[in-house]
Amino acid sequence: MKRLFLLTSAALASLVLTSAAQAENTIAFIPGVGGDAYYGSVQCGIEAAAKKRGAKVETQAPKSFDPAAQIPILEAMIAKKPNAIVIAPTDGKALFGPLKKAADQGIKIVLVDTTLEDSSIAASEVSSDNIEAGRVAGQELLKLLKGKKGSVITVNLSPGVSTTDDREKGFAEVIKAAGLTYLGQQYSNNSVQKADQIISATLLSNPDLEGIFSTAAFNTEGAVAALRAAKKTKDVAIVGFNANPPGIDELKKGLVAAQVVLKPYDEGKSAGEQALNALEGKTVEKKLSTGSTVATRDNLNDPAVAKYVYSFTCPVE
């Protein structure tokens, strides 16, 4: 009986120590940019996964979607020695070195939303199938154009951003196959003002412009501003990407015809779970992909669409 008591006590002590160790796990989350409701939803998902398993989340975001702004934040986070880093890399090459430094120190790396050209240092990658989502955007624009054969342009972020590069690939594939005049892509560097300038100039150089594909939220805001100024909001169809609050408002007002909606909360939750699995020695999925849907003014109140509207307010689970 005494031996059984000692074994039971040892088992309980081990359980307490294991629980305490898990409770001490800290996940550092570094989104692509601050102030974006998409990443707010990702953060909510990470926090939900962490809360369920007794871990902590510390979030710090750069002020612009730029590796020069993100790398100092990453280096500061590494210095704090978190157990894991969940990050949306703003450049597939530039972030590799600092993240390898973290991985070499034993910090688990999980890539969310965007990725690296060499992702071998990451325990897991969680993102949407952005090529397929780009195809969905292209198909939606074709429906809106109803056989028109004018020109179409993409307003993209910056070269080297894996997610938006893939969105443009999928979109271009559909548009070219349909025989439309594809003007290619121009880069806004995630600036509303630059996107506005791109579309304003395109309207002058290509008066037959029929459609705009925006790969990210700020690009859509700029495209809307340009069409408003030119009084072309009813003549040129915009298919945007990401259902942040301004994007939903644009849909409601009829300024944007459709928004391709990703599932950032699901991405964040999966990323948090994979980070904790890696820390706890559990099975880790090397690559996970979440889907997308299309939001329009007609289906915006459908629960299957509404639940994926991006928000800084976390849902209650």
Q: Is 20 helix (H, G, I), strand (E, B) or coil?
A: helix
Residues 6 or more apart in contact with residue 165 via CB below 8 angstroms: 156, 159
Q: What is the CATH number of the domain that holds 184?
A: 3.40.50.2300
Evaluate if pTM is beyond 0.85. no
Rounded Cα distance between 97 and 74, Å, is: 11
Nearest Cα neighbor of 217 from 184, 188, 244 is: 244
Burial of 14 (0-12, 13-18, 19+ CB in 10 A): exposed
Lookup: tokens for 216: 């990210």
Nearest Cα neighbor of 53 from 273, 314, 270, 269 is: 273
Residues 257 and 271 in one domain: no
Residues 153 and 53 in one domain: no
Residues 95 and 65 in one domain: yes
Q: Is residue 12 part of a domain?
A: no
Number of compact structural domains in the chain:
2
What is the per-residue pLDDT for 252? 94
**Domain span at 244:** 130-261
Residues 55 and 79 in one domain: yes
What is the per-residue pLDDT for 233? 96
Q: Is residue 314 part of a domain?
A: no
Residues 123 and 267 in one domain: yes
What is the per-residue pLDDT for 23? 53
Q: Is residue 302 part of a domain?
A: no
Q: What is the pLDDT along the chain (317 residues), one digit of tens a residue?
A: 434 433 444 444 444 444 444 458 999 999 999 998 999 999 999 999 999 999 999 999 999 999 999 999 999 999 999 999 999 999 999 999 999 999 999 999 999 999 999 999 999 999 989 999 999 999 999 999 999 989 999 999 999 888 899 999 999 999 999 999 999 999 999 899 999 999 999 999 999 999 999 999 889 999 999 999 999 999 999 999 878 888 899 999 999 999 999 999 999 999 999 999 999 999 999 999 988 999 999 999 898 888 888 888 998 76
Residues 214 and 120 in one domain: no
Residues 81 and 118 in one domain: yes
